[in-house]
Amino acid sequence: MWAIEGGDVLFEWGWVRKGVVYIDGGRVAAIGGGKAEACPSVSVDGLFVVPGFVDMHVHGGGGASVWDATTEAVETVLKSHAAYGTTALLVTTYPADEEHLVEQVVAVKRRRPEGGAQPLGIHLEGPHLNAARTGGLVPAQRLRPLSPNELARLAEAACVPIRLVTLAPEVEASLELIKAARAIGALCAISHTEATYQQAKKAIDAGCTEATHIFNTFAFAPNARTPTALQACLLDDRVRAHLISDMLHVHPVFVQLLLRVKGWEKTVLITDALREAATENAPEIVRADDGRIIGSTLTTSRAVACIVKGAGVPLEAAVRMASYVPAKALGLKKGIIKPGWDADIVVLDRDISVKMVVVGGVVVFADGVSVKGVPSEF
């Protein structure tokens, strides 16, 4: 057993000043206050101790991409994001033909690489998307209907579960795909869509509970009499909205509007990170030659910092949206610092920069914090 002591700890019910978190066997063993007793400890005086971040949308990082379709590339992604507070994530594929989709999912292994985040499973973003709403994802010709049979073959080939499927409800046979995805235990999300309000509501009724990068790649209402999938997702309490919170993909006014409508309880912070993320001197955002935004270089810690500083969201709510809400969506015992739950923990300074990361009870990153005598992987 070992402990983290001295920081302001975000427990299930709120902040505790000078809290202590005891960790044993990969789980939180106990919580309390004062000084740690009878075990090695890490002192984090003056810092925030929060649950590890869970990112449901990661295409790349550290210079590697899921598109590379190698185990080495996926491990680089997992390691690079762990250093920025992401303790678990969904490896997110790119639309492709079936052969390359299989190569992408096969590259994801169950084992967490040393120093890396835990791979929770796969997020299939497409190819069942509207070619008119590709955004910066891929060329439109890579988008096509995904049949239930192909989904089954992908699930059989994969070493980890397919946990999320993003689709456009207006693409042919979408309701059949939703049914098939739910049958294998995957969540379904709406995005890259020009669906009508009615089409989106049918998809939600069929089992879509998520909206991938809300506002982005959604058709806004053409007039005040014609609602679209965007309004359906915003107004339906069954749907969680996944937000790229860099304040560049979505204006702070729309972020504030989203939180008025959904609250933090139904909002998930995502990065939608490309290979440029989690690298030194990463650009603020990835743009095409014509200036269009085509990708994110966010890390989850920066996603939290941006929504706090750019939209005035309290740190507690921002952390919950990056940890508890996605973990709850995926049915995990993560996202809360609570006895019996996974010991995935992030230590932040007052500027919301990462100072230490713990995955499964093991320190995988530390900056300016002494971790001598406690389990670590560096």
Range of the domain at 32: 2-50+335-366
Are 61 and 91 a contacting pair, CB within 8 Å? no
The H or E element spanning position 128 is none
Give the separation between CA 347 and CA 340, rounded to whole angstroms.
Answer: 20
Give the separation between CA 317 and CA 218, rounded to whole angstroms.
Answer: 25
Residues 344 and 294 in one domain: no
Residues 33 and 112 in one domain: no
Domain CATH code at residue 68: 3.20.20.140
Residues 11 and 97 in one domain: no
Determine the pLDDT at residue 161: 99
> Does residue 303 fall inside a structural domain?
yes
Residues 248 and 284 in one domain: yes
Strands 53-58 and 118-125: unpaired
Determine the pLDDT at residue 76: 99
Number of domains present in the structure of the chain: 2
Residues 10 and 35 in one domain: yes
Determine the pLDDT at residue 209: 99
Determine the pLDDT at residue 288: 79
What Å distances lie between residue 245 and 17, 251, 313, 317, 354, CA to CA?
A: 28, 9, 11, 13, 18
pTM: 0.97
Residues 94 and 239 in one domain: yes
Give the separation between CA 215 and CA 191, rounded to whole angstroms.
Answer: 9
pLDDT-flagged residues of the chain (< 50): none
Determine the pLDDT at residue 378: 82
Determine the pLDDT at residue 286: 86
Name the nearest CA neighbour of 8 among 42, 41, 33. 33
Determine the pLDDT at residue 38: 87
Residues 290 and 143 in one domain: yes
pLDDT digits (tens, 9 = 90+) for 106-117: 999 999 999 999
Residues 118 and 17 in one domain: no
> Does residue 374 fall inside a structural domain?
no
pLDDT digits (tens, 9 = 90+) for 23-64: 999 999 999 988 888 899 999 999 999 999 999 999 999 999
- Percent above pLDDT 70 for the chain: 100
Residues 115 and 82 in one domain: yes
> Does residue 377 fall inside a structural domain?
no
Residues 197 and 303 in one domain: yes
Residues 344 and 325 in one domain: no
Domain CATH code at residue 37: 2.30.40.10
Residues 29 and 109 in one domain: no
Residues 6 or more apart whose CB falls under 8 angstroms from that of 274 comprise 59, 60, 61, 65, 286, 295, 296, 297
Determine the pLDDT at residue 258: 99
